[in-house]
Amino acid sequence: MLAELRDRHLRQQRLGRDAALDQMRGLGKDREWPRTPARKLSTQAKHLKRLIGELPGVELFVELPRVQQLASNFGQKLIDRTGSDGRLHGNFQLAGAKTGRFTGSKPNLQNVPRAREIRSVFVAAPGCSLICADYSQLELRVMAAISGDPVMTEAYREGRDLHATTAAAMLGIGVEQFDTANPAHADARKKAKAINFGIIFGSGANGLREFARDAYDILLTVEEASAMIRRFLTTYGGVAGWMREQEARTRRYGFIETVGGRRYWFAWEAGGAYSRNLAFNFPIQGTAAEIAVEAVTRIDARLLRDLPAGSLVLQVHDEFVLEVPHGSEDLAKGILVEEMTAAFSALLPNAPVTDLVDAHDGPNWAAAKGG
């Protein structure tokens, strides 16, 4: 499947990127266009994304690197890693990343793309189903809890969409007036999603502009990004206050800390330099990683007690995948929801858990992920 898709895009590539660049020049976009080190116009997919809707056929050039990467990294390489039992056995490193997240290798199952054509080839053993459960907006929930922001906390307690809450504030309307069927509201929600997650990474105006463009195909000016950040910090005053206090505290003491008490010293950074982005991001992602470790421990113990025929086969950041015999799907989903919720509450005992975990089952990873 991947080979056919790759070949189709390669045939389209042979039509010539020069023609695409000529048309781009005709649109007058070449003057501000990103350049290669040799000062030629860049044809990287993340840059060509900007022309979707303006340049016919550019979608093929944008899609090509993704398909090539899928085929290269998650096609034959995964097949070659398959054991004699027909299964993949990757290596996992606890706290392998700076923030404490798991990392993986040989193969890196933490990095399997969300693409359906890839995840659908991860199938349950005969007579079994896969159960997939995700934390909903885990890092934003951690942000709400550690900052004590009342608006964020109330939104999660009531089961409201935080992206819609942010979007409504950007539009200057009440949350009750927000309607995703309204194109302007839907567009605002997309921008709100970018700023919600961008704030976690401590993005300033330039950083948010780049993040919104590369992750969500949203083009912002620096002025627009600055205005969005100001509106966000006005809406979530608790987050704004925490950020001020966090920067002052970490500059003074020289380290950052997770809710679980794990510390990272700025002296460990290259040159021992203070990093404002890391000061904001480390407690969020680090605490989320601690919740994941706690959940792994609890899920494993619960399976041994109540469903010994089931097993935890994969954990990817905020996502957990079980393999269980047919007929035990509901029990397995209940175990995941209960133990993942308990792990969250163990680290953040006063944080709301409304709609915290969503679990589904299916014959393969993609189906279980989609419900």
Report how far residue 93's alpha carbon sits from residue 112's, in angstroms, rounded to the nearest whole number. Answer: 16
Please state whether 319 falls in left (phi above 0), alpha (psi between -120 and 50) or beta. Answer: beta
User: Angle, to 10 degrees, between the axis of helix 162-171 and the axis of helix 183-200?
Assistant: 110
Checking if the pLDDT of 21 tops 60, the result is no
Do residues 66 and 94 share a domain?
Answer: no
**Range of 32's domain?**
2-74
Give, in degrees to the nearest 5, the angle at Cα 365 between 189 and 212. Answer: 25
Establish if 243 belongs to a structural domain. Answer: no
Residue 245 dihedral angles phi and psi, to the nearest 5°: -65, -40
Give 167-181 pLDDT, tens digit per residue.
998 888 988 999 989
Give 106-164 pLDDT, tens digit per residue.
888 888 888 888 899 899 999 999 999 999 999 999 999 999 999 999 999 999 999 99
Establish if 69 belongs to a structural domain. Answer: yes
Give me the pLDDT at residue 53, please. Answer: 67
Q: In CATH, what number is assigned to the domain containing residue 92?
A: 3.30.70.370
Do residues 276 and 338 share a domain?
Answer: yes
* pLDDT above 70 coverage of the chain, percent: 88
Please say which residue of 201, 235, 269 terminates a domain. 235
Do residues 26 and 57 share a domain?
Answer: yes
Please say which residue of 74, 93, 113 terminates a domain. 74
What is the enclosing helix (H) or strand (E) of 129? strand 128-135
Do residues 334 and 268 share a domain?
Answer: yes
Is the CB of residue 320 less than 8 Å from the CB of residue 294?
Answer: no
Cα torsion 181, 185, 187, 190: sign: negative
What is the enclosing helix (H) or strand (E) of 163? helix 162-171
Give 263-316 pLDDT, tens digit per residue.
999 999 989 999 999 999 999 999 999 999 999 999 999 999 999 999 999 999
Total domains in the chain come to 3
Do residues 142 and 154 share a domain?
Answer: no
> Which three-class secondary structure state does DSSP give residue 117?
helix
b/e string for 143-180 if b means 16 or more Cβ within 10 A? Answer: bbbbbebebbbebbeeebbbbbbbbbbbbeeebeebee
pTM of the model: 0.81
Establish if 79 belongs to a structural domain. Answer: no
CA 140 to chain centre: 11
- What's 17's DSSP letter? H
Please say which residue of 74, 97, 127 terminates a domain. 74
